[in-house]
Amino acid sequence: MTKTPQHDNPLPSYVAAIVDCGFATWVFGSPPAGLERQFEDRKIPVEDVRLVRVWGLQVDDERELPGHERTSIPDEEIWQVTLVALDGSHFEVNSELLVPASERE
């Protein structure tokens, strides 16, 4: 990994394991649809890790969701891992889709 993550929040153990290894692979053994040719099968280089806040949603208009005057989807925080593809491009991926490459060897 080329960058050292600087976070106020501690890394979860499964994310720290990916960072320590420096390489990741897909948790289900194959990449999501559309990314099959972008990465090696066993060792994908990890460049960076960051905490991302996905903003929730609040709808106050009953016309949009009949029967619900106020509907809320809470904010979510996810750990995002930047992977380096075979062509050198970068992809940001939810850490829950990855495991350290050493676990697959």
Q: What is the CATH number of the domain that holds 92?
A: 2.30.30
Residue 5 has pLDDT above 90, yes or no: no
Of 32-36, 68-72, 73-77, 98-102, which gets the smallest average pLDDT? 68-72
- Give a yes or no: residue 30 inside a domain: yes
- Give a yes or no: residue 32 inside a domain: yes
For 61, phi then psi, to 5°, come to -110, 115
If one counts the domains in the chain, the total is 1
Q: pLDDT class for 91, splitting at 50, 70, 90?
A: very high
- Give a yes or no: residue 97 inside a domain: yes
Residue 104 has pLDDT above 60, yes or no: no
- Give a yes or no: residue 3 inside a domain: no
Range of the domain at 29: 13-51+79-103
- Give a yes or no: residue 91 inside a domain: yes
- Give a yes or no: residue 64 inside a domain: no
- Give a yes or no: residue 56 inside a domain: no
- Give a yes or no: residue 46 inside a domain: yes
